[in-house]
Chain A
Amino acid sequence: LPAVRSAVAGANTMEKPTAYEDVTTYNNFYEFGTDKADPARNATKFKTTPWTVAVEGEVKKPKVYDLAELLKLAPMEERIYRMRCVEGWSMVIPWVGYSLAELIKQVEPTGNAKFVEFVTLADPKQMPFVGSRVLEWPYVEGLRMDEAMHPLTLLSFGLYGEVLPNQNGAPVRLTVPWKYGFKSAKSLVKIRFVEKQPTSSWTKAAQQEYGFYSNVNPKVDHPRWSQATERRIGEGLFAKRRPTLMFNGYEPQVGQLYAGMDLAKNF
């Protein structure tokens, strides 16, 4: 998947990318199982062609995009993002994709579009854990309109210069680097522009633990564990945990989106 280095501010961390092997065998993708090793094992036969993404709701030009159309909608960029999981571990991943804003501009949202809802595939025939009681299916996530329009918010089609492996959310996923990993919905089938704040799957599952914003924040603990530090995958057994950075280190780029907000309340 050819791509050029992104010119977006903050899009290329200088940190050492996590090994491809680790990025593609240590995944949370509950449709394929709750163990980290499950998705790589259970998604091998996952069919990603044909694939369409319906873009609808409060937009002037709703459209069902074919994957091929999406792939050439804007120039592919490589972006090396930190990824912080809510569970307390992190990676550095070289993604390939373009800003979600490119797609949003094409469909021309109306004045009523205040939020964007992302709906992912839930196909019990291909995904053995759809139907399990872990979460409500399909997996749904949401962003505020200005978050969705932020240039760092990426529509990803690949990693390490390759097409996305199935276990990483093929064929197209969201990557929001300043929020906990679960906000970055995988295998998208629908992008809906709405007026009211959508309720994401994890908020439905545990409202007091997973809020709508879920910005990486070392000062706001998860009710059941501290978020002050993280373990960087691949640093070896005895590496010290790293201090977690505000907005996962993207504060200069995204801090102003939350000016004046109480982030302990809007967690």
Chain B
Amino acid sequence: MTTTAPARTGAARTRPWLLHPAVKPLVFIASLLPLAWLVWGAVAGTLGPNPAEALIRSTGDWTLRFLCLTLAITPLRHWFKQPALVRLRRMLGLFTFFYGVLHFLCYAWLDMSLVVGDIVTDIAKRPFILVGTAALLLMAPLAATSFNRAIKAMGGKRWQALHKAIYAVVLLGLLHFFWMRAAKHNFGEWSVYAGIVAVLLGDRLLRARMTTPKLAALATPQGGAQSLGAARRD
């Protein structure tokens, strides 16, 4: 088992454990642990004096965390030279949506008793909820087109263009969290998430600038952009 995986790819850069068939199931189970912990807390009554508030906030926290993890895949692939990490991206993205939906359902159920009229009024009254709802709605088409056949049907380019919406989602998500905390001027935790997102998006911007056509053109006479990239990687 352990020897077949690296042999199959033949890529020296790829760590064998990342391609191990157990990796995906393990990440899947790990991603369900926050939910398991919250369900246990709700049943055992260990979520504190206001369990509804605790559930709504925790599911929101986990949505943002999974969003950061999803967005971290691409930079991590570059930094640690582990292109195989991409295997996990779709699953993490879907878990982001999953926790986002749970977050909304907790709010709609525990705070609004699933009364549609109240939900609509509340969303209109509270910009931070409007922004959060927008982020969730924007994630829906990404989740809906996450399977292989959708990618094939759409074509890689159009699929990628659509999935760039993740950047809007993360910015809306951060704004949602910022406004929620604004009432108490309590931005400590928010700044940590904002910092992480800034690094993850900043890395993409830097990389995009390094591979603009101009730079690529400059690089070609000396042996092509590819070798420039390769040199950078070594």
Instruction: Name A's B-contacting residues (CB within 8 A).
Output: 19, 21-22, 25-26, 30, 34, 36-37, 89, 132-134, 221, 224-226, 231, 233-234, 236-238, 240-241
Contacts and interface: CB of A to CB of B under 8 A. Distances in A.
Nearest to A91: B49
A226 B52 contact: no
Interface stretch (B58-66, B84-92, B121-129, B211-219): B121-129
A237 B121 contact: no
Contact of A36 (B49, B111, B113, B118): B49
Interface of B: 42, 47-53, 55, 110-111, 113, 118, 121-122, 125-126, 183-186
B222 to A, nearest CB: 54
Given A132-B185, A224-B125, A237-B110, A231 B48 contact: no
Contact of B184 (A22, A34, A240): A34
A213 B111 CA distance: 27
B185 A134 contact: yes
Given A226-B122, A237-B55, A240-B113, A133 B50 contact: no
Instruction: Give the 7 A-B CB pairs with smallest separation, nearest first.
Output: A26-B49, A22-B49, A34-B184, A133-B185, A34-B186, A134-B185, A237-B51
B113 A241 contact: yes
Q: Which among B50, B51, B122 has the highest number of chain A CB atoms within 10 Å?
A: B50
A25 B49 CA distance: 8
* Chain A facing B: main interface SS: loop
A36 to B, nearest CB: 7
Contacts of A89: 50, 53
Nearest to A23: B49
A225 B50 contact: no
Nearest to B179: A224
A240 B118 CA distance: 14
Contacts of A234: 49
Given A22-B49, A226-B121, A237 B185 contact: no
20 contacts: A19-B49, A34-B186, A36-B49, A36-B50, A89-B50, A133-B185, A134-B185, A134-B186, A221-B125, A224-B183, A225-B122, A225-B126, A226-B121, A233-B50, A234-B49, A237-B47, A237-B51, A237-B52, A238-B110, A241-B111
Nearest to B51: A237
Given A34-B186, A240-B113, A226 B125 contact: yes
Nearest to A135: B185
A59 to B, nearest CB: 35
A8 to B, nearest CB: 28
Contacts of A237: 42, 47, 51-52, 55, 110
A25 B48 contact: yes
Given A132-B185, A133-B185, A26 B121 contact: no
A33 B65 CA distance: 24
A253 to B, nearest CB: 28
Contacts of B121: 226
